[in-house]
Amino acid sequence: MDTKIRLTNSKNIITKSDLPVCDYSANPYVGCAHGCMYCYASFMKRFTGHDDQWGSFVDVKTWPAIKDAARYDGKEIFLSSVTDPYQPAEGIYKRTRTLLEQLKGSGARLSISTKSDLVLRDLDLIKTFPGARVAWSVNTLDETFRADMDRASSIAARLNAMRIFHEEGVHTTCFISPIFPGITDVTAIIERVNGIADLVWLEDLNLRGSYRATVMDYISNRHPGLVPLYQEIYNKKDRTYWKELDATVATYAGNEGLEYVRASDSPTPPAKPPRLVNFFCHSQVKKSARMAENKTK
């Protein structure tokens, strides 16, 4: 699919965030050429004015140089909440690298989430940030299923990048998201990243918005045997599958000597790896984050 590229001006690239895992977020692009079937960020079309299909356009941002980067000293900046900072356009326009260069030496704590191995290009720069963390989304080890879901880097390329960052001493996270019931083999992924991921996060497939019908059609066409399960989960709101998976992963973690913490109990990233975090329910995460915030007031 051809990607429509547009250059845009932004007044400020770093904005305050209400996510429980960071203080600020930065999105160097609007839209994403990875075109993930389940992309929650597709809701952005309501605000961007694009008529094109989500995944077919990318706005490349420019912004005034950050003059007082030191004000972010000790603050967590997340790249990125509604786009992939290392999607293909980054290889040409280098907007993420420009941002990192502007923040270098600021003391900001950097957290990056991507589905690309292009992040390897900036390894030396990322290492200059104290406590930097890089996460790769990996919800399958099956390249065929991966190709059905997105146009991002192969799973092999993501895991190789994770390994290199880990060997270089950068904190690495494997984000098993979204978990497709009956398809995503969570324990197999955890076993595969053992030794190269400092942290594993889990997140359920949360069907909502325009992509709900797309995903359900995909299941009907490619995995018809799973239709009854998906109807139970997403039409009847039955959480039995997630509870059983929760128990399975908790048992697996215990057997492997890994700590298992539910996000409802610990909404912020753990300080010491390795640890598994059950990140299934968004409402639980938000609720627990508000409770933690209220306790500090």
Tens digits of residue pLDDT in 141-155: 999 999 999 999 999
Q: Which tokens belong to 220?
A: 């009907």
- Check whether 59 has a pLDDT greater than 80: yes
Q: Give the residue, 279 or 81, on which the prediction is more confident.
A: 81
- Check whether 49 has a pLDDT greater than 90: no
Of 120-124, 228-232, 275-279, the one with minimum mean pLDDT is: 275-279
| Gap between the Cα atoms of 289 and 149, Å rounded | 30
Start-to-end CA span in the chain (Å)? 50
**For residue 135, which of 111, 104, 160, 157 has the smallest C-alpha distance?**
111
Percentages helix, strand, coil for the chain (3-state, rounded to 5) are: 40, 20, 40
Average pLDDT in the 234-253 region?
93
How many beta carbons lie within 10 A of that of residue 280, not counting itself?
Answer: 21
Q: Which tokens belong to 249?
A: 């992963």
Helix-helix angle 155-167:186-193, to 10 degrees: 40
What is the edge-to-edge ordering of all strands in the sheet holding 29-30? 4-9, 57-62, 29-30
Give the rounded distance of the alpha carbon of 237 from its chain centre: 24
Task: Provide the whole-model pTM.
Answer: 0.88
Position 21 scores a pLDDT of: 81
